[in-house]
Amino acid sequence: MTNIDLSNLNTLEKEIFNILMAESKIKSDIKINQAAELCNCSVSKISKFVKKLGFTNYKQYMNFLYGREMNVIQSTSELSRIKKVIDDFDQSMVDAFIDLFDSHEKIVLFGYGPSLIVAQYFEYRLRISSNKFIISISDEISVESTVDESTLLVVFTATGAFKSFESIYNASKKKGGEVLIIVEEYNTALFSNCDRIFWLSKFPQPEHLKPHEKSRTVFFIFIEEVIQKMIANK
């Protein structure tokens, strides 16, 4: 599980992020000393930027930036895959979600297809666990009419490949909201469509399955951990 936080970057770090993102489009690889030279800063600053963003080291960040595999491990069955996910579960991501939840007055949950069912289930669970305004939606028009500067927009997606979230992200940012994407599978294209990403699993489902055919079990595991922690905090 990986927690990638773009919203926590300061002005210089956002500039570093944009420079390296642009450079990755035209260059096949960027060494850390080259990154420091491009960004007019020290190698240690690049290392601190990478860790603040949520990556273990510079190599992991480069793998993410270029869409390369990040220790992805195939499982022989869904049951064995879920067992690996549970064994690898990062409780700190639950705490990070609760911190985000507590810092916003309005929570809007978004998903397409089966992921909307996840959002609706989470809406029900959160409503009985808090007094906040919470709603699940599945279209851009509803985002534009619901989101404001007090809103955390939480997008659920198994792969991020079914449909782009760019318009959803832009609509939210226009209103001053913050966007969190909770995704199961590794997808670098989501990087530019949110302020923060929770990547839930490095154990992918079979490649032959289409996005709507893949299970949402990992989401429900995460959701229940969030709810149980919120109940305990009360």
Give me the CATH topology for the region 78-233.
Answer: Rossmann fold (3.40.50)
With 90 as the cut, is the pLDDT of residue 62 above it?
no
| pLDDT, tens digit (0-9, with 9 covering 90-100), for 218-233 | 999 999 999 999 999 8
With 60 as the cut, is the pLDDT of residue 74 above it?
no
Domains 8-65 and 78-233 share a fold: no
Q: How many helices (H) and strands (E) does the chain have?
A: 10, 6
Q: Report which DSSP code applies to 159.
A: S
Q: Residue 219 contacts by C-beta under 8 Å, 6 or more apart in sequence? A: 115, 118, 156, 158, 182, 184, 200
Quote the pLDDT of residue 160: 83
Tokens 């305990």 sit on residue: 232
Res. 1 pLDDT band, cuts 50 70 90: low
Q: What are the sequence ranges of the domains in the chain?
A: 8-65, 78-233
Quote the mean pLDDT of the chain.
88
Res. 41 pLDDT band, cuts 50 70 90: very high
129 within 8 A of 173, measured Cβ to Cβ: no
Strands 178-183 and 151-157: parallel
Can you tell me the mean pLDDT for 92-97? 92
Residue 219 vs residue 163, higher pLDDT? 219
Residue 203 vs residue 151, higher pLDDT? 151
Q: Which CATH number fits domain 8-65: 1.10.10, 1.10.3470, 1.25.40, 1.10.260?
A: 1.10.10
SS3 assignment, position 102: helix
Strands (E), 56-207: 106-111, 133-137, 151-157, 178-183, 196-199
With 60 as the cut, is the pLDDT of residue 176 above it?
yes
Can you tell me the mean pLDDT for 80-98? 91
With 60 as the cut, is the pLDDT of residue 71 above it?
no
**pTM score, whole prediction:** 0.74
